[in-house]
A and B are shown apart, each in its own frame.
Chain A
Amino acid sequence: KAGVTQTPRYLIKTRGQQVTLSCSPISGHRSVSWYQQTPGQGLQFLFEYFSETQRNKGNFPGRFSGRQFSNSRSEMNVSTLELGDSALYLCASSLEYQSGEAFFGQGTRLTVV
């Protein structure tokens, strides 16, 4: 069974631009969560999607948004990029909403210059 797939693996963007990251969950998993990981703040929850609906949202500005498609694939978007958005963005999938065990992808390393 394939694991969680995130694309792209690496990305370099300029301040002010926007970016879209993609996550394909494990087959059969219906819940997708997104996290931001930085050396300064550690792992921070962004949002969780289940059945194409955002169920939980972390404490991030509205520039961070996401969506989930009917096949459970998810995308997150960051608009008007700032230098501080440079981070590893991780996606995790779970079988069901709030089901507990979450499997992480390898992440997308975003660098904003």
Chain B
Amino acid sequence: GESVGLHLPTLSVQEGDNSIINCAYSNSASDYFIWYKQESGKGPQFIIDIRSNMDKRQGQRVTVLLNKTVKHLSLQIAATQPGDSAVYFCAEKTYNDDMRFGAGTRLTVKP
């Protein structure tokens, strides 16, 4: 039969602008969350993580925000660069369970 592909949300930003990528997670018991970046032809690359006892964590040019009330996770990328163009996945995890990935968001940075 016909295969139905995942509809990847897309985000297009201008170089130098800030990007915000959103993710809704499914399990209220999840206590660990990770953002991965996947470039074409490569495996996912760890960007930043956050545990459920925090609501914000900052890295280099990236910030992750966690809102447990509405089960929402976001990744903010400051001063987006062409090299940031990729598919971004959020992942959620509970202890003793496997990591579950979202469908991903394709970020395109226009020069």
Contact = CB atoms under 8 A, between A and B. Distances in A.
19 contacts: A33-B99, A35-B101, A39-B5, A40-B4, A40-B5, A42-B6, A42-B102, A45-B100, A56-B96, A56-B97, A90-B44, A98-B96, A100-B32, A100-B93, A101-B46, A103-B46, A104-B43, A104-B45, A104-B46
A41 B45 CA distance: 19
Contacts of B49: 100-101
Nearest to B6: A42
Interface in A79-106: 90, 92, 98, 100-106
B2 to A, nearest CB: 10
Contact of B6 (A41, A45, A56, A98): A41
A42 B45 CA distance: 16
Nearest to A39: B5
Contacts, number: 58
Interface of B: 3-6, 32, 34, 36, 41-46, 49, 89, 93, 95-104
A43 B101 contact: yes
Tell me the interface secondary structure of chain B in the complex.
loop
A106 B100 contact: no
Nearest to B36: A104
A75 interface: no
Given A43-B44, A101-B49, A106-B41, 19 more contacts: A35-B101, A39-B5, A40-B3, A40-B5, A42-B102, A45-B100, A56-B98, A90-B44, A92-B43, A92-B44, A100-B34, A100-B49, A101-B34, A102-B46, A104-B45, A105-B43, A106-B42, A106-B43, A107-B42
Contacts of A104: 36, 43-46
Contacts of B6: 39-42
Nearest to B51: A100
A102 B100 CA distance: 12
Nearest to B102: A42
Contacts of B95: 98
